[in-house]
Amino acid sequence: MNNLEKYIEDFSAPLPEALGWLERQTHLRTNYPHMLCGPEVGRLLTMMVQMLRPQRVLEIGTFTGYSAICLAAGLPEGGTLDALEINDELEDLIREGFARAGVSDRIRLHFCDALQMLPTLPEQSYDLVYLDANKRAYPEFLPLVVRCLREGGWLVADNVLWGGKVCDDSSKEKCQTRGILEFNAAVAADPRLESFILPLRDGLNIIRLRQSK
């Protein structure tokens, strides 16, 4: 942690103890702990949910449950989160994290291939979607997510700057970089969507589905 990161940490609201426990366990028990959204994005997700007050939230790519806890922590009374994860070997860790954070009753955890499950969900059924799944599949996810969003709903897509590779010509032919590039371009070109990219951590594309006139 550099000095600026420490300053931010010192003057931001403290995180729940459950998230510190989950971060440590993710480093001990998984091979890709860098996939955690981290405290900066986590705090933002909680505040976004508190501001938008969505009743139904969808998460695509739960990993060990860090971002799901952050999303669920901000939900209003009666709000629910559907969390989709493809790796069922993580179930015990995910559920223990949910229990420690006291959010188990707000989250429905689904182990599935999200690309197969999304077309089965009702149209316009979610107020907010958080996308943090396979980057090469981001272009495939976009129309499926938009179908599930209510008018005026929000999509937050993580890792859309991909460590700066989106501006690196030598990386643009790699599958994951190409997927992110195609996703960002498709969002910008879709007249139904308005968006901006927030350069926080690895980049968040904050997207709103416009309401029809």
Domains, the chain, in order of start with CATH, read: 3-209 (3.40.50.150)
DSSP-derived pairing of the beta strands 80-85 and 107-111: parallel
Q: Is residue 145 over pLDDT 90?
A: yes
* Total residues belonging to the chain: 213
H or E element at residue 180: helix 175-189
Q: Is residue 109 over pLDDT 80?
A: yes
Residue % of the chain over a pLDDT of 70:
100
pLDDT of the residue at 21: 97
pLDDT of the residue at 28: 97
pLDDT of the residue at 172: 82
At 22-75, the pLDDT tens digits run 999 999 999 999 999 999 999 999 999 999 999 999 999 999 999 999 999 999
From 90, 107, 210, 197, select the one nearest 151 (Cα to Cα).
Answer: 210
Q: For residue 84, give the 3-state DSSP assignment.
A: strand
Instruction: Take residue 44 and report the two structure tokens written for it.
Output: 């933002």
State how far the Cα of 27 lies from the Cα of 6, in Å rounded to an integer: 20
Q: Look at 91 and 9; give whichever has higher pLDDT.
A: 91
Residues 6 or more apart whose CB falls under 8 angstroms from that of 49 comprise: 57, 71, 73, 74, 75, 79, 128
pLDDT of the residue at 171: 83
